[in-house]
């Protein structure tokens, strides 16, 4: 039951590996809480569309390179197992 609840709270449902999905979700949530810039400013800095930034922050983005660029902007590294 707890695993099912956890899965429902995770972002990026297109990723099948639960551990990776959990790590990615955690990093994006930390970055989102940490940012002082607006979504529009982040989009301009990263040369991504505003829509893509919104998708990253709500967990629906399927562009893995954009997600990594977002995480890396906030100086986090993601361990790929």
Task: Summarize pLDDT for 26-48 with one digit per residue, the tens.
Answer: 999 999 998 889 999 999 999 99
Nearest residue to 12 via CA among 63, 50, 77:
63
Spatial distance between the Cα atoms of 6 and 81, rounded to a whole number of angstroms? 20
Cα dihedral 44, 51, 49, 61 in deg (nearest 10):
110
Q: Where are the alpha helices (DSSP H) in 1-81?
A: 2-9, 18-34, 39-46, 50-58, 64-73
Interior angle at CA 53, CA 48 and CA 56, nearest 5: 125
Assess if residue 79 is contained within a domain.
Answer: no
Q: Quick check: is 18 in a domain?
A: yes
Residue 62 sits in a domain of what CATH number?
Answer: 1.10.260
Parent domain of 31: 2-73
Quote the pLDDT of residue 4.
55
Query: Would you say residue 66 lies in a domain?
Result: yes
**How many domains does one find in the chain?**
1
Q: pTM score, two decimals? A: 0.80
- Can you tell me the distance from the alpha carbon of 53 to that of 70, in angstroms, rounded to the nearest whole number? 8
Does residue 11 lie within any of the structural domains?
A: yes
- The per-residue pLDDT for range 63-81, each reduced to its tens digit, is 999 999 999 998 765 555 5
């Amino acid at each position: 039951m707890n695993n099912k609840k956890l899965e429902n709270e995770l972002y990026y449902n297109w990723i099948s590996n639960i551990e990776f999905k959990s790590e990615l979700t955690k990093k994006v949530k930390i970055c989102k809480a940490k940012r002082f810039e607006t979504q529009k400013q982040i989009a301009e800095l990263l040369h991504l569309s505003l829509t893509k930034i919104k998708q990253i922050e709500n967990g629906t983005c399927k562009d893995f390179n954009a997600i990594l660029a977002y995480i890396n902007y906030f100086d986090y590294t993601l361990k790929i197992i």
